[in-house]
Amino acid sequence: MQVSLFPIFVNNSPASSIDSKKSQHPSIPILSIKETIKLNTLVEHQTYAESYKLDIQLPSWLYILRNKECRLNDAFSITYDPQIKTLFQKPKSIYEPIAKVSTKNTTLKGDFEIYDYKGKYIVAYTFSPLLEVPKHTCIHSDYLLAIDNDLKKLPPSIEDHLVNNGVKLILGQTEEDTYYYYRADFAEKDYKKTIDSTKPQLEFVNNTWIDNRLYANLGGIYLSNTKQALMPQWVRVYGSEDSYYDLSTDPNRVFGIALHEMGHAFDYTQPKMFSETKEFKEAYETDIQVLNRDKDNLEKQYGVDTIKAWYANLRNRQETFAELFRAFFDGMKIESKELLFKLTPNSAKCIKDSLTLK
Ligand SMILES: [Zn+2]
Cut 0.75: pTM above it: yes
pLDDT digits (tens, 9 = 90+) for 234-245: 988 877 777 889
Q: Which residues surround ligand 1, an ion (CB under 5 A)?
A: 319, 322
- CB count, 10 Å around CB of 197? 11
Residue 211 has pLDDT above 90, yes or no: no
How far away, in angstroms, is 318 Cα from ligand 1 center? Answer: 7
pLDDT at 24: 53
The average pLDDT across 213-231 equals 89
Contact (Cβ atoms closer than 8 angstroms) between residue 311 and residue 317:
no
Task: Break the chain into its structural domains and give their ranges.
Answer: 15-125, 128-197+210-269, 271-358
How far away, in angstroms, is 219 Cα from ligand 1 center? Answer: 10
- Position 197: which residue type? S
Region class of 114: left (phi > 0), else alpha (psi between -120 and 50), else beta: beta
Q: Which of the four pLDDT bands, split at 50, 70 and 90, describes residue 222?
A: very high
Give a three-class secondary structure readout of the chain: CCCCCCCCCCCCCCHHHCCCCECCCCCCEEEEEEEEEECCCCHHHHCEEEEEEECCCCCCCEEEEEECEECHHHCEEEEECHHHHHCCCCCCCCCCEEEEEECCCCCCCCCEEEEEECCEEEEEECCCCCEECCCCCCEEHHHHHHHHHHHCCCCHHHHHHHHHCCCEEEEECCCCCCHHHHCHHHHHHHHHCCCCCCCCCEEEECCEEEECCCCCCCCCEEECCCCEEEEECEEECCCCCCCEEEHHHCHHHHCCHHHHHHHHHHHHCCCCCHHHCHHHHHHHHHHHHHHHHHHHHHHHHHCHHHHHHHHHHCCCHHHHHHHHHHHHCCCCCHHHHHHHHHHCHHHHHHHHHHCCCC
Residue 258 has pLDDT above 90, yes or no: yes
pLDDT at 11: 28
How far away, in angstroms, is 145 Cα from ligand 1 center? Answer: 21
How far away, in angstroms, is 33 Cα from ligand 1 center? Answer: 38
pLDDT digits (tens, 9 = 90+) for 44-93: 567 889 999 998 876 788 999 999 999 999 999 999 988 877 778 888 88
How far away, in angstroms, is 215 Cα from ligand 1 center? Answer: 13
Q: Which of the four pLDDT bands, split at 50, 70 and 90, describes residue 42?
A: low
How far away, in angstroms, is 141 Cα from ligand 1 center? Answer: 24
